[in-house]
Every structure is written in structure tokens, then in C-alpha cells.
Chains A and B, each alone.
Chain A
Amino acid sequence: MSAFFEAIHTAFNEAGIKPILVGGWAINLLGHARNTMDFDLMILETDVEKLHSYLEKAGFQLLFKNPELFAKYSYSHEKIFELDILFTDKTTYERLKSDSSEIKVGKIDCLLPSPMSIIAMKLHSIKNNFENRFPKDFPDIIALSDIHGIDMSSEPFKKHCLKFGNKKIYDLILNTRSLK
């Protein structure tokens, strides 16, 4: 596993790109222990081609690419983990960056978004792929809200849910809270 992270560090360092950490690793670093086999990083869409050449040089192989959304890589020496690179626009990148904190995963310099930003991503995932994302993302939302003291019955949280998710997800959150 250390070679996998070392290779990611090499590629990003040589490309001069600072990624935003998302997915399961971000959840873990925000305090909720959660199993994951992917390492998910978000970068500017304008950096995708540049990063690809550095990842290949560092030993990564492209498994799949959706030009609009993401690319999935495996590492030639440790294929247990996969690297997912999500693409984003400049506005989203800058807004996520503005409430992120700087962290290191191994030697990799990353930006760790705020809990509310990660919850926004989770709501978005569930809204657009309910069947496949709900089992993983819904418990993450509940756990992050608990850990970070987010009042899920508050009006700002409701607005957040309706903006990035939908009423169905918000109602499920409220129902889950009422079980407590």
C-alpha cells in the first residue's frame, strides 16, 4: 500500500497539482471510520491530461475514463487499491478549496473539504444514483453530522439537503433522526 501512495505522491508532485480528497478517505479523515478500496481525488478538468501522463510515468494504468466525469486507474505493483480521479470545474474547485483544510496522506498534499461540502457530495451521489450509492453514502451523512455537531433539523441543513439532494433523502434523514 505504501508504494501505491508513494506513486500518487510522485505523480502529483511532478505535475504540480494539488488534489481535493473526496470519497471514503475524506470520510475517514473527518472522523468516521469507513472501509474503502478506492482512493478518490478531485482535480481541475484542465489538469486531467497533464496528470494522466505523470500517472502513467509513475506506474498507473487507465482502467476506465468518462471524459466528463472521472478516470479510474490501477497501480501496476499493487492492484488491490484503485485510484479514482474526479474532474471538476474551476468554480467548484475554488469553492471547495475555500473551506478546506490542508492535509497530508502519506506524502500527498491534499485539500480536505469541510464536512458540509462532503455531505453535499454525498447528497448529490444519492440523488443521482440512489440504488447504488444510498447504502454507502447515507450512513456517512448521518455519521458526519453527528461527529461534527450538525443540526439536521435546522433550516440551513434542510436547504443544503434540498439543494444537493432532494426531499426524499431529507425525509429519510429526518426519519432516521426520529429513531434516536
Chain B
Amino acid sequence: MKHLAIRENADYHLSRFPKTAHSSADYEKFIRTCFSVLRPPKVTLAERLKKSPKIRFKLD
């Protein structure tokens, strides 16, 4: 889903900024490349669960 957020940011950027400096296709390719390298590494559920509790916390 983080990937989708980044893609949405590229779409948002492309929808707002003028395309005068480049051809439309080149501009879009450039922007999408910029956003793609910003993508965070995909963290699997198994990786995320490594940080989860192993023994229940108790106050007694």
C-alpha cells in the first residue's frame, strides 16, 4: 500500500505541474522514475511480526 501512496503522489504531481519543458511522454517518464526510486523497501508481514510481543506483559 505504501507503493500505491507513492504512485498516487506521482499522479498528483503530474496532474498539477506544467509540462512545458519536455514532451509529455518524457516528462511523465521522468516524474514516474523520480517517484519510483523513492519507494520504500517492501517489508513483509513476517518481518513486521519479528518486532511483535513474544511474552505477555504482566503487572502483578
Query: Taking beta carbons and an 8 Å cutoff, which residues of A are in contact with B?
Result: 63-64, 66, 68-70, 72, 74, 78-80, 82, 84, 86-89, 91-92, 95-96, 117, 120-121, 124-125, 128-129, 132-133, 136
**A63 shortest CB reach to chain B, Å:** 6
- Give the residue of A64, A80, A87, A129 whose beta carbon is less than 8 angstroms from that of B54: A129
Indicate if B29 sits at the interface (CB-CB under 8 A).
Answer: no
Assess whether B1 is in contact with A121, with CB atoms less than 8 Å apart: no
A-B contact count (CB 8 A): 63
Size bracket, chain B contacts: 10 to 19
Which chain A residue shows the least CB distance to B46?
A64
**A38 shortest CB reach to chain B, Å:** 8
Assess whether A125 is in contact with B45, with CB atoms less than 8 Å apart: no
**B9 shortest CB reach to chain A, Å:** 12
Binding site of A, secondary structure by majority: helix, strand, loop or mixed?
mixed
Indicate if B53 sits at the interface (CB-CB under 8 A).
Answer: yes
Indicate if B49 sits at the interface (CB-CB under 8 A).
Answer: yes
Q: A92-B57, A92-B58, A120-B59 are in contact. Are A80 and B51 (CB under 8 A)?
A: no
**B49 shortest CB reach to chain A, Å:** 6
Q: A63-B45, A64-B45, A132-B50 are in contact. Are A87 and B56 (CB under 8 A)?
A: yes
